[in-house]
Amino acid sequence: MRTDFDFAPLYRATVGFDRVFDMLDSMAGQPSPGGYPPYNIEKTADDAWRIVMAVAGFTEAELNVTQKEDELLVTGKGHPDRNEGIEYLYRGIGGRDFERRFQLADHVRVTAAKLQNGLLSIDLQRELPEEKKPRPIRIEAQSTPRTISQQ
């Protein structure tokens, strides 16, 4: 069952957040991409995050992390002959190919990616350019000129 949301009232109440609502609009119309591989998003500092993906069975060579502008793409391509000749009684560890996309906010970039114990950790950092950082503005007080009356 699909529920349609009307974000029009929010457009009128905000300034500069049109892109956020456009993304929400587009995501509301898309089917869920599935849950493989599962992942967590952790906040590690005020302007830093970490995506942790459970990629058991994949090696570094089979994983690819790519950032292009405001999108992060994580793909996993396993070798088809990796499990050749193995007879499974039960197979619960997912090893299928996958592709996960994450929309990143402006000025967020990937700083590191590492694979340890079947978990792929991707560190993200927001780095605002100097012209976008807040800066104090000096306020000058103007005094009104006094007139001295002559008598």
pLDDT of residue 2: 54
Average pLDDT by stretches of 10, the chain with 151 residues: 57 52 56 75 91 92 93 87 78 84 90 95 90 86 73 63
Give the whole-angstrom CA distance, residue 108 versus residue 49: 10
| Sequential DSSP letters for 2-56 | ------HHHHHH-SS-HHHHHHHHHHHTSPP----S-EEEEEEETTEEEEEEE-T
- Can you give the CATH number for the domain in which 119 is found? 2.60.40.790
User: Do the domain assignments include residue 143?
Assistant: no
Domain coverage including residue 7? 1-31
User: Do the domain assignments include residue 112?
Assistant: yes
DSSP symbol at 140: P
* 49 and 116 inside one domain: yes
Task: Please check whether residue 121 is in contact with residue 52, taking contact to mean a CB–CB distance below 8 angstroms.
Answer: yes
User: Do the domain assignments include residue 116?
Assistant: yes
* 38 and 20 inside one domain: no
* 52 and 7 inside one domain: no
How many domains in the chain?
2
pLDDT of residue 121: 97
* 26 and 52 inside one domain: no
- Predicted TM-score (pTM) above 0.85: no
* 25 and 39 inside one domain: no
User: Do the domain assignments include residue 12?
Assistant: yes
Collect all residues with Cβ–Cβ distance below 8 Å to 59 and sequence separation of at least 6: 115
